[in-house]
C-alpha cells in the first residue's frame, strides 16, 4: 500500500494506517504524505519507511512506483487527503494500473465523480471508498435481516448524524480539521452534508437496500460567518414508498459523533448507534424487544465474517474501518490467485457508492435552495 496524504498532524491518515495494519494482510510500503516534501519525509521516517520510497508528491509516487518491478511496487493507493485532492491521485493511480482505496466523499464535483466511475469501469481495477460505518458487524446484521425479510416491507427510516464540535467558529483558530471542512474551495458545495450527511445517506441505503428517490432539505449555517452548512434537516422518500428523515449537524452542542439509524418495517424495527456499535436493538410487533450483540448467538454470515473477537469484547471504530481494508486485501489476493473472491468479502463501498454520495450532496444543496417541496435524486 502506498499512501497519499496523512502526514504529521493529520487525523484520518493514522486511522487508515491502523485499519490497514490490524489484520497483517497489508503493508505500507511507500507514501506521499504531504504536499510539503519535508513534512512528507519526516512522516515517512515516523513510519519506518526507507527514504527512497517517501515521495514529495502523489505524482512522483505513482510514476516511480509504476516503474518498479511487479511484486516490489505498491499494490494499491490509499488516498486520505481533503476532498479536493481525491480526484487527482485517484484518477492517476487508476491510469497507472493501481487499485485505489479513497476516503469519502468521493471527490469534489459531479463531473469528477462520473469520470472516476468511468475510469474504474474501464480499467476493471478495485476502488474502495471508506464509508467505514457500514463496516460494523451489527450493521451487516441489520442489513442481512432486512434482506431476509425479517422486518417485512420497510416503511420508515430515521437516520441522524449529530455532532457538536463546530458549534463555534473553530475555523478561525488553526484547527486543521475545521479549516478545510468549512472551506468551499477544499470541501465542495456542502459542509456538514458532505462530511457526515453522506455517511448517513450511505448507511441508510446500505442497510435498507432502498434508494432515496426524492428529498426536501433545509440546510443552515448557524455559526455567523460560516461559509458552508453546519446543519441540515431533510425529509426523505424512498423508491419503495418508504418515508424518512435524515438530519446531520455539527452544531448540536455537546454531541460527539452520534450517527444512528432506526428502520421500521411491517413486522418490526431496529435501532443501531455508532457510539455503541456492538448492540442492535430489535423491536417486534408481536414479541419482546431483543438485544442482538456482536458475536453473540446466531447471526448472519455477513455479520460473523466481519467479527474478530468473541462476544462481550467490544469491537470499535478501527475494527469496522479495518473490515474495508481487509476485504480489499482478500479480494486482491483472490485476483492474484486468479480466483473469484468470496462474496462475503466483496462487501465494501465502491466508486458507485461514491457517485451516489456526490448525487446526494448535489441534490440536497439544490433542494435547500429551492421553493419546491420535492427534489428528485
Asked if 270 contacts 204 with a C-beta cutoff of 8 angstroms, the reply is: no
Name the residue nearer to a second copy (CB basis): 107 or 228: 228
Q: Work out how close the CB of 49 gets to a second copy at its nearest, in angstroms, rounded to a whole number.
A: 10
Residue 159 is classified by DSSP as E
Residue 29: φ, ψ to 5°: -110, -20
Q: Which is nearer to a second copy, 23 or 95 (CB)?
A: 23
Nearer to a second copy, 49 or 61 (CB): 49
Closest approach of a second copy to the CB of residue 71, in Å: 14
- Smallest separation (angstroms) from a second copy to the CB of 147: 18
Of the pair 168, 173, the CB lying nearest a second copy is at 168
Shortest CB 312 distance to a second copy, Å: 3
- Residue 274 Cβ vs a second copy, minimum distance, rounded to whole Å: 8
Full strand arrangement of the beta sheet holding 154-162: 279-284, 268-273, 260-265, 154-162, 243-249, 231-238, 212-220, 375-376
Q: Burial letters for 36-54: b for 16+ Cβ neighbours within 10 Å, e otherwise?
A: eeebbbbbbeebebeeebb
Nearer to a second copy, 181 or 292 (CB): 292
Q: Which three cell numbers stand for residue 357?
A: 454520495
Give least dist CB 5 to a second copy, A. Answer: 17
- Shortest Å, Cβ 189 to a second copy: 19
CB of 10 to a second copy, least distance (A): 12
Name the CA dihedral angle for 82, 88, 89, 91, rounded to a multiple of 10 degrees: 130
Q: Which of 113, 145, 103 is nearest to 19 (CA)?
A: 103
| Cα gap 296→226, rounded to integer Å | 46
Name the residue with cell 473490515.
323
Q: Which of 316, 306, 313 is nearest to 18 (CA)?
A: 316
Is 8 or 283 the residue whose CB approaches a second copy more closely?
283
Handedness of CA 355, 360, 361, 366 (dihedral sign): positive
- 293: exposed, middle or buried (Cβ count in 10 Å: 0-12, 13-18, 19+): middle
Q: Which is nearer to a second copy, 147 or 373 (CB)?
A: 373
Q: 199: helix, coil or strand?
A: helix
Nearer to a second copy, 120 or 299 (CB): 299
Please state, in angstroms and rounded to a whole number, the distance separating the CA atoms of residues 270 and 198: 21
60 vs 222 by CB, closer to a second copy: 222
**Closest distance of CB 67 from a second copy, Å:** 26
Q: DSSP states of 54-107 as a string?
A: B-SSHHHHHHHHHHSPTTTS-SEEEE-S-GGGTHHHHHHHHHTT-EEEEPSS--
* Contacts of 249 by beta carbon, 8 Å cutoff, 6+ apart: 161, 162, 163, 164, 192, 230, 231, 232, 255
Minimum distance from residue 256 beta carbon to a second copy (Å): 3
- The residue to which cell 417486534 is assigned: 284
Shorter beta-carbon distance to a second copy: residue 66 or 144: 144
Asked if the bond preceding 157 is cis, omega within 30° of 0, the reply is no
Amino acid at each position: 500500500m502506498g499512501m497519499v496524504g496523512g502526514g504529521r498532524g493529520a487525523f484520518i491518515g493514522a486511522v487508515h494506517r491502523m485499519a490497514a495494519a490490524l489484520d497483517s494482510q497489508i503493508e505500507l510500503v511507500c507514501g506521499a504524505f504531504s504536499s510539503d516534501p519535508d513534512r512528507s519525509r519526516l512522516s515517512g521516517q515516523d513510519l519506518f519507511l526507507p527514504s527512497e520510497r517517501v515521495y514529495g508528491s502523489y505524482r512522483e509516487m505513482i510514476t516511480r512506483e509504476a516503474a518498479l518491478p511487479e511484486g516490489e511496487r505498491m499494490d494499491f493507493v490509499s488516498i486520505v487527503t481533503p476532498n479536493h485532492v481525491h480526484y487527482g491521485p485517484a484518477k492517476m493511480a487508476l491510469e497507472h494500473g493501481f487499485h485505489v482505496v479513497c476516503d469519502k466523499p468521493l471527490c469534489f464535483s459531479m463531473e469528477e465523480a462520473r469520470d472516476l466511475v468511468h475510469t474504474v469501469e474501464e480499467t476493471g481495477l478495485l476502488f474502495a471508498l471508506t464509508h467505514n460505518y457500514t463496516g460494523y458487524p451489527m450493521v451487516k446484521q441489520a442489513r442481512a435481516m432486512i434482506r431476509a425479510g425479517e422486518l417485512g416491507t420497510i416503511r420508515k427510516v430515521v437516520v441522524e448524524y449529530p455532532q457538536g464540535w463546530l458549534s463555534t467558529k473553530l475555523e478561525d483558530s488553526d484547527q486543521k480539521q475545521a479549516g478545510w471542512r468549512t472551506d468551499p474551495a477544499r470541501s465542495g458545495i456542502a459542509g456538514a452534508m458532505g462530511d457526515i450527511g453522506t455517511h448517513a445517506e450511505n448507511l441508510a441505503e446500505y442497510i435498507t437496500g432502498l434508494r432515496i428517490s426524492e428529498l426536501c432539505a433545509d440546510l443552515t449555517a448557524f455559526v455567523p460567518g460560516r461559509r458552508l452548512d453546519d446543519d441540515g434537516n431533510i425529509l426523505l422518500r424512498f423508491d419503495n414508498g418508504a418515508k424518512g428523515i435524515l438530519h446531520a449537524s455539527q452544531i448540536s452542542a455537546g454531541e460527539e459523533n452520534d450517527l444512528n439509524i432506526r428502520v421500521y418495517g411491517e413486522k418490526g424495527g431496529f435501532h443501531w448507534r455508532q457510539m455503541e456499535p456492538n448492540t442492535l436493538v430489535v423491536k417486534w410487533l408481536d414479541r419482546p424487544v431483543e438485544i442482538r450483540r456482536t458475536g453473540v448467538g446466531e447471526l448472519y454470515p455477513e455479520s460473523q465474517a466481519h467479527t474478530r473477537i468473541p462476544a462481550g469484547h467490544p469491537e470499535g471504530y478501527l475494527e469496522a474501518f479495518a473490515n474495508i481494508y481487509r476485504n480489499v486485501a482478500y479480494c486482491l489476493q483472490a485476483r492474484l490467485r486468479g480466483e473469484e473472491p468470496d462474496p462475503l468479502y466483496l462487501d465494501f463501498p465502491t466508486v458507485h457508492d461514491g457517485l451516489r454520495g456526490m448525487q446526494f450532496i448535489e441534490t440536497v444543496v439544490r433542494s435547500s435552495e429551492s421553493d419546491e417541496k420535492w427534489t428528485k435524486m
